[in-house]
Structure 1
Amino acid sequence: MFEIAREALAVLHEGGSLGVVVVTGVHGSTPRAPGSAIAVCADGRALGAVSGGCIEGEAYELALSRLADRSPLTQTLGGEGDLYRPGLACGGAVDVLAFHVGPGDHDIVSALERSLEDGEVTLTLPGGAVVTRPRAPRLVIVGAVDFTPALAAAGRALGYRVIVVDPRPVFATPERLPAAHEVHVAWPDRFLAGLEIEPSTVICVLTHDDRIDVPALAAALASPAGYVGAMGSRVASERRLARLREAGVGDDALARLRSPIGLDLGGSSPAETAVAILAEVIATRAGASGRPLGETRGPIHPRHES
């Protein structure tokens, strides 16, 4: 539900109401996780989604019905039991809760507002179902270079809290990096030393300057960050590895470094490069192969049984 917070709040702050359907549980292979939601406005507009499209019409009608009837309603959508009902093409099913939300539902409004900021947010829905939005993982981009705005925008779209750090004040400005949540003018190694870094943290070093890259990477590889990558040609990457070894970075730490950064997708523009980088990040976090799905076996979507 938190993924539609901004659009939902725009309606609620203007005095409007919403009929909402939230996924509370999934069975089998499904494209959306618990917490996914669709909301319907009084004028018929839909916000969000609960599936890849297979049961969206049924979810829409269910949400629409809550505009007139404010009592919460639970239901299961999808499955393979009834050929005449819409179902998920992947064969799974989702448990959903449908309910009404108005401007006076202060707990829900407050939780949606808090979800626009950093930090974990938990919301108890009508009927007792609980949805949680964990604190957003960090995407730390070292270097305010020409690739940085595209990577920041793509990272933000994927739910990261985007932090850009560069010691050069002429480049590290919010105006140049509108998608970043934070822009810091600082030496990256010192900045990283003072940052809370978790296994979910992604650190991408884009500067192409060994004076910045080497100490920043040394700090990043000494941290528990789940992904550390550095941009550069193969020649530059080999040179940088040698300098990192000279700086005392061991082989086990260097084995964690993704350089040259990103998957081989064949693109070269900033936007294409951002896709290649984040594709590798997603595959690394999921422990996936990064191969075409047509060449793999097994479920496409992770299973989230409830």
Structure 2
Amino acid sequence: MLELAAELLERVRARTPFVAATVTDVAGSAPRQPGSSLVVDAGGAVLGNVSGGCVDAAVHEACQEMLAGDRRPRTVRFGYTDADALGVGLTCGGTIELLLRHHDPGAEPHLGQAFTDAAQDRPVAVATIVRGPDAHLGRAIVVRPDRPHEGTLGDERLDRVAAAHATAALHAGRTGTVELGVADSHCREPMALLVESNAPAPRMLVFGAIDHAAALARLGTFLGYRVTVCDARATFATPDRFPHADEVVVDWPHRYLESQRLDGRTVVCVLTHDPKFDVPLLTAALRLPVAYVGAMGSRRTHQERLARLRAAGLTDHELGRLHSPIGLDLGARTPQETALSIAAEIVAHRHGGTGAPLRTGALPIHRPGVRWRAPFPAVRSQDDRLSSRA
């Protein structure tokens, strides 16, 4: 629901009841991931979607029925194997499970405040029971950094476990399901939580104030990154040259990188291909727990760079994290085309894509959503799951 926070906040302020149908689980090829919602309010307005169109009409009807009748939370499932697959099933071949939940804004102030936080881009996470005993279904708690959680799932110990998982998801900027089993000693019956997190935008650090950086900054912003362009040369590193960057910094690249607090979603793109900048910068970057480090240059430049980095003390394991020459093979010529190849590699690396044409592959088009499996506190990332299935 947090993806619709601004619109839902309007309903909360107007005291308008609504029903939210939220994707809690996907299997096979499905167009939307956990956390995606379709909302129908008491006035008949519709927000969002859960399938890109193929089952939205049926979900809309179910939401209307809940508004008019039984308001108890319940789950529904749609898939290609349904008898009416061509009517309301997922014709893309996957299955989705949804939680339908009636929201009375006046009765849930903690959720209303969560919508306010998300709408203002403040970090907040909501953990909701989406599978388990009927008496607990739909209960939710709200988690924020360095503050006690709000709301309850009906059990103090379960609240603590859910709050810990939600805190981990918020720190990683991830939304997904958490499965809790009886053997884990965290609940009396098997349960699943949907943890929705709203975190600040991930960062893209682009080093080198060149035309390729301007094109990449534009694409990075389009993909939802907070983009910084950094260069030691004040003549070239000016806001006018990089209108799509969130900030332009004049500093030595390695010094700027070492001054930043970065997380596991950060991508670092080194476009300088100048040893006096590249070697100290990449030495620092490849030792940080960031998501992606790429460097521009020819294959000859890459080999010379590897030799310098080894001389600087980097191990083979650390060098194995380097994407160089940066980008996918698209036959790019212009700065814009090169930026596209870099952005494509970043997306593929983030989601476990191969970069191969879809018409020649056998893997699902839509990768599975994030799923975390207890025992607590282990949290498996999407990249971990994809690697384990390879």
Same topology, TM > 0.5 = yes
Distance of aligned partners of 1:13 and 1:187 in 2 relative to their CA distance in 1, 3 Å threshold: farther
Distance of aligned partners of 1:204 and 1:13 in 2 relative to their CA distance in 1, 3 Å threshold: farther
Task: State the AA in 1 paired with 2:89.
Answer: G
Distance (whole Å) between structure 1 residues aligned to residue 333 and residue 95 of structure 2: 38
Distance (whole Å) between structure 1 residues aligned to residue 13 and residue 219 of structure 2: 30
Distance of aligned partners of 1:258 and 1:55 in 2 relative to their CA distance in 1, 3 Å threshold: same
Aligned match for 2:98, one of 95, 99, 113: 95
Task: State the AA in 1 paired with 2:125.
Answer: V
Q: Which blocks of at least 5 consecutive residues in structure 2 are unaligned?
A: 130-136, 141-193, 373-390
Task: State the AA in 1 paired with 2:279.
Answer: V
Distance of aligned partners of 1:227 and 1:86 in 2 relative to their CA distance in 1, 3 Å threshold: same
Distance (whole Å) between structure 2 residues aligned to residue 171 and residue 7 of structure 1: 41
Structure 1 residues 17-44: Cα deviation after superposition (integer angstroms, max 9, x where no partner): 5653211233454222211112357886
Q: Which residue of 2 aligns with 1:110?
A: 113
Count of residues in Structure 1 that have an aligned counterpart in Structure 2: 305
What's the CA shift for 1:140?
2.3
What's the CA shift for 1:189?
0.8
Q: Which blocks of at least 5 consecutive residues in structure 1 are unaligned?
A: none
SS in 1 for 2:211: coil
Q: Which residue of 2 aligns with 1:189?
A: 254
What's the CA shift for 1:200?
3.5
What's the CA shift for 1:219?
1.0
* CA root-mean-square deviation: 3.8
SS in 1 for 2:293: strand
Q: Which residue of 1 aligns with 2:139?
A: 128
Distance (whole Å) between structure 1 residues aligned to residue 246 and residue 8 of structure 2: 21
Task: State the AA in 2 paired with 1:289.
Answer: T
Distance of aligned partners of 1:127 and 1:254 in 2 relative to their CA distance in 1, 3 Å threshold: closer
Q: Which residue of 1 aligns with 2:299?
A: 234
Report if aligned partners of 1:114, 1:121 keep a CA contact under 8 Å in 2.
no
Distance (whole Å) between structure 2 residues aligned to residue 150 and residue 162 of structure 1: 12
* Mapping 1:198-277, distance limit 5 Å: 198-277=263-342
Task: State the AA in 2 paired with 1:99.
Answer: H
* Mapping 1:5-24, distance limit 5 Å: 5-6=5-6, 8-9=8-9, 11-12=10-11, 15=14, 17=16, 19-24=19-24
Distance of aligned partners of 1:112 and 1:233 in 2 relative to their CA distance in 1, 3 Å threshold: farther
Distance of aligned partners of 1:99 and 1:280 in 2 relative to their CA distance in 1, 3 Å threshold: same
Distance (whole Å) between structure 2 residues aligned to residue 267 and residue 294 of structure 1: 21
Task: State the AA in 2 paired with 1:93.
Answer: I
What's the CA shift for 1:290?
1.9
* Mapping 1:57-96, distance limit 5 Å: 57-63=57-63, 71=71, 73-79=73-79, 80-83=81-84, 85-89=87-91, 90-96=93-99
Report if aligned partners of 1:87, 1:93 keep a CA contact under 8 Å in 2.
no
SS in 2 for 1:237: helix
What's the CA shift for 1:100?
4.2
Distance (whole Å) between structure 2 residues aligned to residue 179 and residue 103 of structure 1: 41
Distance of aligned partners of 1:27 and 1:255 in 2 relative to their CA distance in 1, 3 Å threshold: closer
Task: State the AA in 2 paired with 1:273.
Answer: T
Distance (whole Å) between structure 2 residues aligned to residue 148 and residue 132 of structure 1: 33
SS in 1 for 2:281: helix
What's the CA shift for 1:288?
3.6
The more displaced of 149-158 and 285-294 is: 149-158
Report if aligned partners of 2:101, 2:138 keep a CA contact under 8 Å in 1.
no
Q: TM-score with structure 2 length normalisation? A: 0.63
Structure 1 residues 158-179: Cα deviation after superposition (integer angstroms, max 9, x where no partner): 4444444333455555665555
What's the CA shift for 1:8?
4.7
